[in-house]
Amino acid sequence: MKVLAISGSLRSDSTNTALLEAISRAAPESVEIRLFREMGDLPIFSPDLETPQPPDSVRRFIEAVDCADGLIISSPEYARAIPGGLKNAIDWLVSGEAVIGKPIALAHASHRGDDMLASLRAVLGTVSSRFNADIFLRRPLMAKSPGEIEAELSRPQSVEALRDFVERFSAFVESSQGEM
């Protein structure tokens, strides 16, 4: 099973990216979770650019989503909303077929950010019929250093939460494949 992980933060020490990396490490061999690291290369969405030959970065992004059996997204809240880069990436998917019916789950690296989460759930529920809001992993990593993040994610409670999240999401992806 191939899963694409998308972080809504481009920050080098991003807690959301670190959470996705930890999720990837917690996955069994049968579940390959790859982080999409090129969100910052996507141009600002315009329907005028949606041609049969879109910009290379867009083509690569759409192909990555298309090839994935599921998506896991983890994002910070900016100004009580979805960060522009992540919303822009999602906008590139809206009129294509790659995301329709794609299993999607959310993770989140902060105890805050509920306005962004509500908005992102609404957006993902609009673009995919298989966005599953019940599968959700939240760890309180906000403002933590890489060392503190590692310590928090190594706690037995975190390790169990990460494994449980991966298990539930991969089972959901498998059950979705059965429906196709």
Ligand X SMILES: Cc1cc2nc3c(=O)[nH]c(=O)nc-3n(C[C@H](O)[C@H](O)[C@H](O)COP(=O)(O)O)c2cc1C
Please tell me the distance from the alpha carbon of residue 43 to that of residue 111, in angstroms, as a whole number: 31
CA distance 176 to 105: 13
22, 162 Cβ separation under 8 angstroms:
yes
Binding mask 79-118 for ligand X (x = CB under 6 A): xx----------------------------xx-xx-----
Residues in 6-35 at the binding interface with ligand X, rule: CB under 6 A: 9, 11, 14-16
Task: Assess 128 for contact with ligand X (CB under 6 A).
Answer: no
Site residues (CB under 6 A) for ligand X, limited to 135-174:
142
Decide: 75 and 108 in contact? Cβ < 8 Å: yes
Least separation in angstroms between residue 19's CB and ligand X is: 8
What is the layout of strands, in order, in the sheet containing 131-138?
32-36, 2-7, 70-74, 104-108, 131-138
Residue with smaller CB distance to ligand X, 67 or 118: 118
Site residues, ligand X (CB under 6 A) = 9, 11, 14-16, 76-80, 109-110, 112-113, 142
